[in-house]
Amino acid sequence: MEKFFAYQKDSREPCKYGRKCFQTNKEHTDKYKHPPTKDDIKVDDKKMTRKRDLKGKLKSSNKTNGESSNSDHSNRPNEQSHNSSEINDMEVPERPEQTITTSNSEPNSITSSSNQQNSTEYAVPSMRQHSQQQQQLLLTNSTLEDCSVDDGIVPSTPTLFTPRRLDGETVSSPHVPSSNQIQRFTFVGESQPSQTPDLNDREQPDDPPVQNETDFDCLKKKISELFLIKEMPKEFYDLWSFCKRLCSTHPEDALLSVGLKLVGPYDVLAGHMNGFNANDVEKTVLHWRYYYDPPEFQTILASTTSEFHIGYYRDVPLEFPVYIVSNDSSKNCTIQRLGKSLFQVLRHHLQRLDSKIANTLQKKLYAYQKQKVTEILLGRESLPVSKTFHKAGIVVPYDRKTDIGYRPLSESEYNLKKILKSYHEASESKKMEVMDKLQPIISYANIASDECDFGTGFELGIDFFCDGNPDLHRICKQLLVTAYSLLRRPQFATIIKAHLNNRRKGPNMSIL
């Protein structure tokens, strides 16, 4: 018990691992305290022993000869309650490591070692930590749901005119090919579960390997909460295991010989993002996000010599990726679809390098893929309603029978690019004239959103984003935040707001 009271009086912060901590370095032990084991706090008092008579009834050792079995039975509850209270007084808080990482934990205090009769002295700190977690979760949910809107969307603004393009062609809704996999659009339905980050992040060592299932689950949750996505696919971790074979100390640098580096969520596995938590999502969602990367694009491999990068493409934030894609932001905004297998995509990239090191690495990748990799991406279940400027396409709920969910823009892609180019090249005095041509297109997209064709504003916002003109960032943000909110993708709304507020160019997009 002396070690337990010494632990309670210790002013150091409690370690998040608790008794399971495996770190023994002096820097860690000087900063954090560790609770004593159960063997250190065993009570020396012997437990009350009871014997049973021939009839199976309990007999107390202090029972007199004149007492009846009924008195023994009536006194038994008092004895049991006495024993339970005696054991509870000796208990240690089960999980002192469940304090929130972002909050400063308060040291447990005990007035004196003689006051051991009330077990609530040890329960109060855990109750306070629970209330802090409740408040922190509410704050986190508010940041992710700040763009949410009323689910009951009723068309409020009628279309007063039939939009026509400059070439005189009348705009109509598209013909989307029929497919059994296309989801029917509904006005009011069950919304997708919001991404609620788990704030009970355990402290990670400098370069931690994935040691057991508990640590692995903790890393997966941390990736989800820092990047506002569903957990990564299995092949993502298979590539990390392969790189650990090549370089056990720094797997993220295992592909440097071929000019590639594991980045983005791989930095969580490498232990480089231990200092970030759910309150830093406005920074972490920008980690290795290039200039032309929409919220659907997440970089996992980056070139060390250029702005070429490979990543996953998601249509919905809380679903698995549909494709592996690439982009070179120094050239254009085009997103190229590479395939559904990360190992196969990487092998094809190494084939194009045509070097001895790349060929050797390609053979190792193929051998590991054939032996270990069992799952690949499933691809898209629904057809895209428009390609947009980046050519990767957008997917929205569209009902082909009622023709609700999407309508084309009032201008063709060619004419829209021509107008945006003239706006970019126009002088300050001439920009207002060009804006007069853009305003009807924007108004038509807003009317389409009022009439539940959410894909129209989504397409126009992505086109403005791919144009890359900073003068259009305000309009782009308004269109995309509204579209993502109406499509119930608030995580993407948070990402696009953070990106447009801090849109950077260059090859190094790390926030570390």
List, by residue number, the catalytic residues: 451
Whose CA is closest to 410, among 164, 173, 174? 164
| Cβ proximity of 288 and 309 under 8 Å | yes
CA distance 152 to 186: 10
Residue 58 gets which letter from DSSP?
A: E
Burial of 116 (0-12, 13-18, 19+ CB in 10 A): middle
Token pair belonging to 266:
């791989």
Residue 105 gets which letter from DSSP?
A: P
Q: How far apart are the first and last CA of the chain?
A: 44
DSSP labels for 385-442? SB--TTSS-B----BTTTTBS----SS-HHHHHHHHHHHHHS-TTTHHHHHHHHHHHH
Sorted by sequence, the CB contacts under 8 Å of residue 302 that are 6+ apart come out as 260, 261, 263, 288, 308, 309, 310, 507, 509
Return the bridge partners of 164, or none. Answer: 170
| Cβ proximity of 139 and 476 under 8 Å | no
Token pair belonging to 238:
């298979």
**Residue 166 CB neighbours (<10 A):** 12
Token pair belonging to 218:
């903790």
Residue 318 gets which letter from DSSP?
A: T
C-alpha gyration radius of the chain: 31
DSSP labels for 211-255? -SHHHHHHHHHHHHHHHTSPPPPHHHHHHHHHHHHH-SS-GGGTT
Residue 20 gets which letter from DSSP?
A: G
| Cβ proximity of 100 and 129 under 8 Å | yes
| Cβ proximity of 126 and 472 under 8 Å | no
**Residue 274 CB neighbours (<10 A):** 18
Sorted by sequence, the CB contacts under 8 Å of residue 195 that are 6+ apart come out as 144, 224, 225, 228, 229, 317, 318, 491
**If phi over 0 gives left and psi between -120 and 50 gives alpha, with beta otherwise, what is residue 226?**
alpha
The residue assigned the tokens 């996999």 is 181
| φ, ψ of residue 404 in degrees (nearest 5) | -115, 135
